[in-house]
Chain A
Amino acid sequence: MGLANPIGALALVAVAVLVALTLHQRRRRARRVSSLLLWRQLPTAPAERRRFRPDLLFFLQLAMLLALIGGYVRPYLASSTPPASGTALVVVLDCSASMQAREADGTRFELARDKVRAVIAAQAQGTRIMLVSAAERPHVVLRWSDDAARVASALDALAPLDTPTRLEPAVELALGAASRSNGATVLIATDLPPAPQVRRGPVRWIQVGGTADNVAITALTVDSPPFGDGRDRRVLALVQNFGATPRTTTITATIDDAPWTQRTLELPARGTEQVLFDGPRGSGVVRVRITPDDALPVDDEAVAWLPPPHPLDLVLVTDADAMATAFSSLVAALPDARLEVVNAAGWRERGGASTGQVALFDHVAPDGSGPALFVAPPPGDPICRGARRLDGAAAIDWDDTHPIVQGLDALEALEVGDVTQLGRPSWARVVIDAASQRATFPLLTAGERDGHRQACLGAALPVPLTSSDALPLLMVALGALRWASADTAETPLTVETGVPLLVTGEPSALLVDRVGVRRVALGDGRERLVLANLFDATESDIGRDGDGDWPALAPPRLIAATAAPHEFGWWLYAVGAALLAVEWAVGARR
């Protein structure tokens, strides 16, 4: 038995306090009488007066106090368990994308798995084995088992994924499991070199792989200006050569499997090339591929979504004629764009936007459904939760992964004059944060409300809209309008393997471990097209120094008797609570 918090014993001082309080209270409990005239003539009881005579209430209070102090010092019982027989081995097998790299004798994963099999075969009979796969997160494939057949079967079932490597959590998990098992060692099979801090433990490290022959597409972005005619859409690919020798490669792009364009690239050793594809003739899934194949094919192809041209069909709800005129000029410059201007009263009579239309509410925030952008909503509106007007603010931070502001570098210079301090409504997330002299607050929030995309922009749009000062804000507004008017059901989700993406519904995150194009049923019941890529230059940089085997430097931890402390402080707290109830009942009777 021991104490997890021995310093807590200082609380025993409270017992002395209780005694003092009891004595004090007893003096205070002297019964008031009109006069001591008669009582004084009776003999005094000196023993009664001086001796400390605790009553039942005192004992109950003392017991309650001791129980609480007992709980506070967190006593525990160390129960002994018999030492485990035989030895144990925790196997961590790297299953990340780089393990798909082809070497002369096979893939790195196959080589590593063969070495693991050999190590397992060399273990003594009865050795317990735990199998952990390591990719972007650890996964316990097999818990402790001394059944060789089960271990072999679990090992055979493993396959490398298309995700980046995060080996540290898996190693930590293995070391933790080994520390709780008698004489357990850890075997790590990966293509990464041994980590010095891990080598101090009972860890054997096996490294496989040596080739650096890899050319990868490490980024693929689509630049589609809002409400353009489609001709100014561009696709930019970043191609990197991770090899030590120059490479000549061909890059081809298709749109929905229809050929689009092809280039030949001369890549220097460990060089990078940006490839720009413009003038697409259609819309759909853009697939960019480099040939010939190299040692790691998983990063030779990338996919992206090329949205179709989407003309602006805008309902402007404003009471300002200048704003209506400014938007008329703007819409006239956009291809196939349509504009309808109504004032707030007219909007209420109208009752909402037509199908396909997106509404822009200027300085008003009526509770209408449909895709909408609320610009400079009045303070106190229930949708955007505007708090108050401020004289000026500047953008200080933004979510550059959000489609509204993706690719907008001009936000760094975004300063606004008349601005509403927005709140953080539960239906939206913050896209741009701004700061004034007095507060930091959301400048742009966006989310899905009543099944429609809606956004709130705290800053008022300056007139004329096309002045150079107003341009960043106009781009934000147009981006928000495009995002709000997009058909969410038809727009694919673009993800990176191993990186969770927040989605609506339950489960609220989407995690993909294979590259390519597939349809996925999301939590809200809808099926969406998902485009997954491995855009990880570290993972694609597969060059290694060759195979290696580093034996464990520290011996396995032998535990004669495992002490499994069992704290029972909470029971003492429960006893204290029960005693409190009893003490209260006894005290109430008096």
Chain B
Amino acid sequence: MTPDPAAAVARYAHLGLHLAGGVGDRPGERRIPGRTDVTGIEPEAWTPYTPGDDLRHLDWNALGRLDTLLVRRFTAEREVVLHLLLDTSASMDACADDHKLATATELALALATIGVSSGYALRLTFLEDGGLGRRSARHRRRTGLIALATMLGDATAGGALDVGAALGDWAHRHRERGVVFILSDLLVEPASLEPGLAALHARGFAVHLLQVLGRSEWEPSAHAGGSFEDAESGAVHTVACTPTVLARYHELLEQHQMALAAVASRTGATHACLLTDTPVHAFVTGELARRGLVRPR
């Protein structure tokens, strides 16, 4: 089902993304406070004139008052690209009742809406069977949300995916810095993610791990049955779903989440988890706002 971009704009246009890092050298429309440039709109600092400076930026008032040649420096305006990497492997649709892929696409559109409203350029990439899959054009206007929503609506889950390897591959293909949101269930060995995340970090990307989990994964019930089939590998594992075993499962899941958080911390990334029965807007205005990623504009 294609998410509704108009509804997303109505719901999230008043929010803004406040992301640190990921700023590249490509001129753009997003002002980067603290970084100056010789051209711009908003003066931010003055530096002593050196031969070669553009005389048009010489501050004649300061020369009259201080008798010193000062050149105006402006707040740098750069284009920051917001990369949305969406996991579309079979694991995202393992349990139809969880609607993980649908939740992830809704979250992606919410982030895109907020991002384009905040002056970010957008690019959506599917992480598919075998690595990198379809990717969108770079969108800089709200009109691009329509194409983005259509692409999200076409997303289908299938195939196996090594998320860590896919992230490493993606990092090697993209030299220009930016902000990366990874939307996945992240039910993989945390250690396997670390090389990819480290590569992203090394290239100057600001990385945010947004984990989407289903309620059945968070709290599996005893009547769910004793045999479990891996949606990607097809392997079957039989477990007696006794209360003890389920308690152990919860314990293992908590350990997994903690390991993910540790990996994220080591690689300079953030990690947040969204359960599919939680409304996406509640997650955006709650969890993401609490982490300072989203604020009212």
> Residues on A close to B: CB < 8 A?
26-27, 29-46, 48-49
Contact B225–A33 (Cβ < 8 Å) = no
Q: With the chains together, A46 CA to B238 CA distance in Å? A: 7
Question: In whole Å, how far is B66's beta carbon from the nearest beta carbon of chain A?
Answer: 66
Question: In whole Å, how far is A48's beta carbon from the nearest beta carbon of chain B?
Answer: 5
Q: Tell me if B21 is interfacial: C-beta within 8 Å of chain A.
A: no
0 or 1 for each of B230-246: is its CB under 8 Å from A? (1 = yes): 11110111111000010
- From the candidates A31, A33, A37, name the one contacting B256 in the complex (CB within 8 A): A37
Contact A45–B239 (Cβ < 8 Å) = yes
Q: If the complex has contacts A30-B225, A31-B224, are A49 and B232 also in contact, measured as CB distance less than 8 A?
A: no
Chain B positions within 8 Å of A41 at CB level: 252
B209-250 contacts to A, CB under 8 A, are: 214, 217, 224-233, 235-240, 245, 248-249
Among residues of A, the one whose C-beta sits closest to the C-beta of B92 is: A34
Contact A44–B230 (Cβ < 8 Å) = no
Q: Tell me if B199 is interfacial: C-beta within 8 Å of chain A.
A: no
Contact A30–B239 (Cβ < 8 Å) = no
Q: List 14 A-B contacts (CB under 8 A).
A: A26-B227, A29-B225, A30-B227, A31-B227, A31-B228, A33-B230, A34-B92, A34-B187, A36-B228, A37-B187, A38-B256, A42-B239, A42-B252, A44-B237
Question: In whole Å, how far is A548's beta carbon from the nearest beta carbon of chain B?
Answer: 87
Contact A49–B229 (Cβ < 8 Å) = no
9 tightest Cβ-Cβ pairs between the two chains A and B: A34-B91, A30-B227, A45-B240, A35-B187, A30-B229, A49-B238, A34-B94, A36-B230, A38-B252
Chain A positions within 8 Å of B253 at CB level: 38
Question: In whole Å, how far is A5's beta carbon from the nearest beta carbon of chain B?
Answer: 41
- From the candidates A33, A40, A46, A48, name the one contacting B94 in the complex (CB within 8 A): A33
- From the candidates A34, A38, A44, name the one contacting B238 in the complex (CB within 8 A): A44
Q: If the complex has contacts A33-B217, A37-B188, are A48 and B228 also in contact, measured as CB distance less than 8 A?
A: no
Contact B185–A36 (Cβ < 8 Å) = no
Among residues of A, the one whose C-beta sits closest to the C-beta of B185 is: A34
Contact A42–B249 (Cβ < 8 Å) = yes
Q: If the complex has contacts A38-B187, A38-B256, are A33 and B240 also in contact, measured as CB distance less than 8 A?
A: no
Q: If the complex has contacts A31-B225, A33-B94, A34-B91, are A39 and B231 also in contact, measured as CB distance less than 8 A?
A: no
Q: With the chains together, A45 CA to B242 CA distance in Å? A: 11
Q: With the chains together, A36 CA to B256 CA distance in Å? A: 13
Contact B237–A39 (Cβ < 8 Å) = yes
Among residues of B, the one whose C-beta sits closest to the C-beta of A50 is: B238
- From the candidates B226, B229, B256, name the one contacting A48 in the complex (CB within 8 A): B226
Give 19 new A-B contacts, CB below 8 A, not counting A34-B94, A48-B240. A29-B225, A31-B227, A32-B231, A33-B229, A34-B214, A34-B232, A35-B187, A35-B188, A35-B230, A35-B232, A36-B235, A36-B237, A37-B256, A38-B253, A42-B252, A43-B239, A43-B240, A44-B238, A45-B238
- From the candidates A27, A29, A33, A40, name the one contacting B231 in the complex (CB within 8 A): A33
- From the candidates A26, A32, A34, A39, name the one contacting B239 in the complex (CB within 8 A): A39
Chain B positions within 8 Å of A46 at CB level: 238
Q: With the chains together, A45 CA to B217 CA distance in Å? A: 20
Question: In whole Å, how far is A590's beta carbon from the nearest beta carbon of chain B?
Answer: 10
Q: With the chains together, A42 CA to B253 CA distance in Å? A: 12
Q: If the complex has contacts A37-B187, A37-B188, are A42 and B245 also in contact, measured as CB distance less than 8 A?
A: yes
Q: Tell me if B95 is interfacial: C-beta within 8 Å of chain A.
A: yes
B125-150 contacts to A, CB under 8 A, are: none
Contact A44–B239 (Cβ < 8 Å) = yes
Chain B interface residue count, Cβ-Cβ cutoff 8 angstroms: 33
Question: In whole Å, how far is A137's beta carbon from the nearest beta carbon of chain B?
Answer: 71
Chain B positions within 8 Å of A34 at CB level: 91-92, 94-95, 100, 185, 187, 214, 217, 231-232
Q: With the chains together, A33 CA to B228 CA distance in Å? A: 6
Q: Tell me if B25 is interfacial: C-beta within 8 Å of chain A.
A: no
Among residues of A, the one whose C-beta sits closest to the C-beta of B89 is: A34
Chain A positions within 8 Å of B252 at CB level: 38, 41-42
Among residues of A, the one whose C-beta sits closest to the C-beta of B157 is: A34
Q: Tell me if B277 is interfacial: C-beta within 8 Å of chain A.
A: no
B70-125 contacts to A, CB under 8 A, are: 91-92, 94-95, 100
Question: In whole Å, how far is A73's beta carbon from the nearest beta carbon of chain B?
Answer: 37
Chain A positions within 8 Å of B185 at CB level: 34-35
Chain B positions within 8 Å of A38 at CB level: 187, 249, 252-253, 256
Chain A positions within 8 Å of B100 at CB level: 34
Q: With the chains together, A29 CA to B188 CA distance in Å? A: 24
Q: Tell me if B189 is interfacial: C-beta within 8 Å of chain A.
A: yes
Chain A positions within 8 Å of B235 at CB level: 36
Report which residue of B188, B230, B233 has the largest number of chain A beta carbons within 10 angstroms of its beta carbon.
B230
Q: With the chains together, A41 CA to B245 CA distance in Å? A: 10
Q: With the chains together, A550 CA to B210 CA distance in Å? A: 108
Q: If the complex has contacts A42-B239, A42-B245, are A37 and B189 also in contact, measured as CB distance less than 8 A?
A: yes
Q: With the chains together, A29 CA to B224 CA distance in Å? A: 10
Q: With the chains together, A49 CA to B239 CA distance in Å? A: 9
Contact B228–A27 (Cβ < 8 Å) = no
- From the candidates B95, B188, B249, name the one contacting A32 in the complex (CB within 8 A): B95
Chain A positions within 8 Å of B217 at CB level: 33-34
- From the candidates B227, B233, B248, name the one contacting A42 in the complex (CB within 8 A): B248
Q: With the chains together, A29 CA to B225 CA distance in Å? A: 9
Contact B237–A31 (Cβ < 8 Å) = no
Q: With the chains together, A326 CA to B94 CA distance in Å? A: 88
Among residues of B, the one whose C-beta sits closest to the C-beta of A49 is: B238
Q: If the complex has contacts A38-B256, A39-B237, A42-B248, are A32 and B226 also in contact, measured as CB distance less than 8 A?
A: no
Contact A32–B238 (Cβ < 8 Å) = no
- From the candidates A32, A43, A45, name the one contacting B229 in the complex (CB within 8 A): A32
Question: In whole Å, how far is B193's beta carbon from the nearest beta carbon of chain A?
Answer: 12
Q: With the chains together, A43 CA to B239 CA distance in Å? A: 7
Contact A40–B237 (Cβ < 8 Å) = yes
Among residues of A, the one whose C-beta sits closest to the C-beta of B248 is: A42
Q: With the chains together, A44 CA to B238 CA distance in Å? A: 6
